Amino acid sequence: GFLLGVLLSTGVFALCVRHFNSDPQNGGSGLVLKLGHSLDQQHPVHLALEHMAERLQQKSAGTVELQIFPNGQLGSETECIEQLQRGALAMTKTSTAPLESFLPEFSIFGVPYLFRDDEHAWRVYTGEIGKELLQKGSEVGLRGLCYLDAGARSFYTVNKPILKPDDLKGLKIRVQESQTAMELVEALGGSPTPMSFGELYTGLQQGMVDGAENNPPSFYSNRHFEVCKHLSLDEHARVPDILLISESVWKNLPPHVQQWVQEAADEAAEFQRELWEEKTAEVLEDVQKEGVTIDHPDKSLFAEQVKPMVDKLKGTPVGDLVNRIRELP
Ligand code: GCU
């Protein structure tokens, strides 16, 4: 088929996409795009990716298949990003946090208490700033397709409720592989310990760390609530997820396939945005049934404590982004 001819023209491309015979009867050839991510199959982000796979299948009449590998099967988020750069993996869904080591501008999303609310955050993701950053990825081989909601991140600990920053003193808190996340926990008085998401359950269970921070659906779907009995909704940062495609894969896709992929990604983001709120409320109920105590600490105590970290950004490119975001209605 025509796809095969176009696509096999580069060696890199052959590495990460597999062609299949979607319709043996008429000999039509198809294309498989592999996507790796670190979340569990019941997580709303995974459900959105499944939605994308369905949409892509429909749009392409079965000629393009999105094959999803959840639970870190293809490696940690950082490892998946590196595989995309090399063209060894077609797609990944990652938090923007580890992406900041590849594209420093992405540290903007780790800035604590940056967004006023959901609406404000979505205005950034889908507006000028969000689009600029998605495009910037191409410079380092990582094309951004869309953002996915990842709510707000809060602390959870094995046995000590976090009601004020001081409560973090002496606690080892797992953070993502991100400088900004390290700085944030340090500013609040805790000891940040970077670790991949896949290693965290064991890390908590074996006492390598005393707690972590994440959004409620991730706290729930990876069963961290079995070990951590205190969740403090301080909502210190709203770090979105992002869907990336390897630039070398993308530029070898025919324009109409590129269009299907982009459309299916946008539809998945919309689908997930609606699902997110509902799932978050649901899991907050569920973890309480499992014996987790939820606290609602005074967020201003935390915001005050991290202010120097944000002020320090003045005059830097990320500081300029902070200003642009704050000025948005
Ligand atoms: C969020 C995010 C994941 C990420 C995780 C983490 O849940 O959606 O992509 O792996 O945070 O803390 O590592």
Domain ranges of the chain: 2-150+240-280, 153-239+281-327
pLDDT reported for residue 20: 60
Contact present, 162 and 234 (Cβ < 8 Å): yes
Is 10 a residue whose pLDDT tops 50? no
Instruction: Please give the pLDDT value at position 316.
Output: 97
| 8-40: b (≥16 Cβ within 10 Å) or e | eeeeebebbbebeebeeeeebbbbebbbbbbbb
94 lines ligand 1 (CB under 6 A): yes
**CA-proximal residue: ligand 1, atom 9 (nearest):** 95
- Would 2-150+240-280 and 153-239+281-327 be classified into the same CATH topology? yes
- Separation CA 86–CA 98 (nearest Å): 17
- Condensed to tens digits (0 to 9), the pLDDT of residues 173-187 reads 999 999 999 999 999
**CATH 3.40.190.170 is held by the domain 153-239+281-327:** yes
The whole-angstrom separation of Cα 150 and Cα 95 is 8
Q: Is 22 helix (H, G, I), strand (E, B) or coil?
A: strand
- Rounded to 5 degrees, what angle do the CA atoms 75, 138, 44 make? 45
For residues 239-256, one letter each, b for 16 or more C-beta atoms within 10 angstroms of the residue's C-beta and e for the rest, the string is bbbbbbbbbbbbebbeee
What separation in angstroms does the CA of 4 have from each of 82, 166, 186?
Answer: 26, 60, 51
pLDDT of 236 higher than 60: yes
Q: Report the C-alpha gap between 69 and 93 in whole angstroms.
A: 10
Residue 13: name the closest of 253, 312, 313 by CA: 253
In whole angstroms, give the CA distance from residue 21 to residue 62: 10
Topology given in CATH for the domain delimited by 2-150+240-280? D-Maltodextrin-Binding Protein; domain 2 (3.40.190)
- Mutate which of 38, 180, 244 for ligand 1? The one with the most ligand atoms within 8 Å of its CB, which is 38
Residue the block writes with tokens 């630039």: 247
Q: What is the structure's pLDDT at 113? A: 98
**Ligand 1 touching residue 92 (CB < 6 A):** no
The answer on pLDDT for 21 being more than 70 is no
End-to-end CA distance of the chain: 50
95 lines ligand 1 (CB under 6 A): yes
Backbone angles phi, psi at 201, to 5 degrees: -55, -50
Q: Compute the mean pLDDT over every residue in the chain, rounded to the nearest whole number.
A: 93
- CA 26 to ligand 1 center in whole angstroms: 43
If you take atom 2 of ligand 1, which residue's CA is the nearest one? Answer: 95
Ligand 1 atom nearest 174 alpha carbon: 12
ipTM above 0.95, yes or no: yes
Structure-derived torsion over alpha carbons of residues 87, 92, 95, 99, reported in degrees to the nearest 10: 10
CA 177–ligand 1 middle distance (angstroms): 10
Cβ neighbour number for residue 159 with a 10 Å cutoff: 10
pLDDT at 329: 86
* Cβ(176) – ligand 1 distance below 6 Å: yes
Decide whether any atom of ligand 1 lies within 6 Å of the 149 Cβ: no
Ligand 1, atom 6, residue with closest C-alpha: 197
Q: pLDDT tens digits, residue range 27-70?
A: 446 899 999 999 999 999 999 999 999 999 999 999 999 999 99
Q: Extract the tokens encoding 27.
A: 């000999």
**Amino acid letter at 23?**
D
Q: From the CB of 197, is ligand 1 less than 6 Å away?
A: yes
Mutate to test the pocket of ligand 1, among 40, 43, 45, 95 (most ligand atoms within 8 A of CB): 95
Find, among 75, 71, 245, the residue nearest to 146 by Cα: 245
Q: Which atom of ligand 1 is nearest to the CA of 197?
A: 13
Of 165, 187, 183, residue with least CA distance to 175? 183
Q: Is the predicted pLDDT of residue 154 greater than 90, yes or no?
A: yes
DSSP-based three-state secondary structure for 176: coil
